[in-house]
Structures are given as structure tokens and as C-alpha cells.
Amino acid sequence: MSKLRITSTLILIIGLALTIWAFFLEPNSFRIREQTITIDSWPKACNNKKVAILADLHVGAPYKGLDSLRELVEKVNNSQPDLILLPGDFVVHGVVGGSFVSPEKAAEVLQDLKAPMGVFAVLGNHDWWLDAKRVEQAFLDREIAVLEDRSAKINSGECELRLVGISDFWEGPHDVEKAMGAIDDGETVMAFTHNPDIFLQLPERISLTIAGHTHGGQVYLPFIGRPIVPSSYGQRYAIGHIVEGGKNLYVSPGVGTSILPVRFLVPPEVTLLSISSN
């Protein structure tokens, strides 16, 4: 066998293996990833509280049907988070190989999530594209609080926080002033939203903002980065803990897929975020 033929065969085998990994093995996987971050303004009474981030569920995407969602809910509950946040995109549109699952059916499964500080949701752009009022009502009917430009006081023992939900940057009003309107001086504020592009518009008094939307780009290529990130800022707010101008943002890569059912070196995850002060 000639060297050229051997090389061609190896390239074909490697290409096939990478395709199987990117379009089947990795999108079909799931993990709960524990991550610890430090924030100077975080109250010591809330140190090491665990926040589970279930971003971009896209129920109905390939490998992400209702059975998968039930398994996810069970594993999240077993991880015993103090607070559960659902930063939008519960439904899916147009993903190759996917099928529509109603928000009512998704909410019926998600109602089993349990955390002592509560379970809260905001809507994503896909939820708005379907019908924002319908999605919100589906969650409210299952007693899951939806904070669209609103806030709620949450606590666990001596830990007291003000949780602010900001509506989607692309499709919602994303009225930050309204969302922050009921907050008193001295309260520690944590915000969550779907799209991290709102981050630059948020006030410094928010100790931490949590977001999803980007899927971490879905694909990460070594030495190149993330070729496609649905953000005006490219890879700047694609994934993980970002600190800018004294403000903190955490972007979860999420669970589902959009457009193409592909993930490569960006595995689906629920982020279990532990937060503490110095």
C-alpha cells in the first residue's frame, strides 16, 4: 500500500471518528460540572452556596427529549443545590433531527426540581419566538417562578440575596431599571438572564450575573477557538467566569443544541456553581 493511500485512509478514519464524536457521542452525553468562583462583594453568610444552572435545555433537540430531561432533573436534585436557575431557551426551533416538545410538557417535568432557595426561570429568544406568554404561563402553572424584569428575595439561614431576572436581550424588553426597581440599598444582588450581551449595561452593584445562550459556541477547535458564537462580542462572553470593570459574569455552556446537533469539546452540562468571597 502506498504512503499516499495509507495517509488518505488515516485521514478518512480520523474524519469519521471526529464526526461520530461531534454529532453523536458528545451531544448525547451529559454532566454536572462543579465550578467554584470567588467574588469580593459576595456575603460571607452565603459562602459556598451551590447554584445549579440549567441553561438552554432546548427540549426536543436530538438526544434531549423528555426522558433525558427527567434524568437531568433527577441528577440535579441528587446534587443538592441551594438554588436552581433556568436561564431560558426551553423549546427548540429548526434544529436538524429535532422535534418540537411543548413548553407545557417540559414544565411538567421541570416542576420536580427542588432547592431550598427556590427554582426560578427567565425566557430565552427561542421561547419568545414561540410565544413568550405561553411559555411563561406553562411554568407558572407548575409553580416555577418566572422573573421577567422582576426580582425576588431569597434566603437560606443567614444568607439573604436579591435575585433579579432580566428578560432576553434580543427579544424581551430587558428593562434593567424596572428589574432593579424594588431593591433596597445594602442588599446583595445576583442577576440572571438568557443572553450575556446585556452584561455591559448592568450596574456594578450586581455582584454576579449568570447567563446562557451561547452554548459555549457548541464547537471548540484547539488553537482556533469557537468559530461561531451568537454574540455581538464574539468569544468575549462565550463561556465561563468573566470579570470586567469590577463586574462578574458567568456563562454556562448549557445542555441542548441549536441549528445543528453538534458539540465538540463543549460537552452538555448543568453547571453547579459554588460562590464564595475572599
Round the average pLDDT of the chain to a whole number and report it. Answer: 93
CA distance 105 to 84: 19
Those residues with Cβ within 8 angstroms of residue 274's Cβ, 6 or more apart along the chain or in another chain: 34, 35, 36, 37, 48, 49, 50, 51
Per-position DSSP letters for 106-135, written without gaps between them: HHHHHTT---TT-EEEE--HHHHHHHHHHH
CA distance 53 to 76: 10
Cell numbers of 212, please? Answer: 446562557
Q: List the strands of the sheet with 240-244, edge to edge.
A: 150-156, 159-166, 189-193, 206-211, 247-251, 240-244
More confident residue, 2 or 219: 219
CA distance 51 to 208: 12
pLDDT at residue 1 is higher than 60: no
Candidates 3.60.21.10, 3.30.1280.10, 3.40.50.300, 3.20.20.70; correct CATH number of 30-276? 3.60.21.10
Model confidence band, residue 18 (pLDDT cutoffs 50, 70, 90): low
Can you give the pTM of this predicted structure? 0.95
pLDDT at 127: 98
| Mean pLDDT of all residues in 15-36 | 81
Read off the amino acid at residue 6: I
CB 250 within 8 A of CB 209: yes
More confident residue, 109 or 16: 109
Q: Domain limits of the chain?
A: 30-276
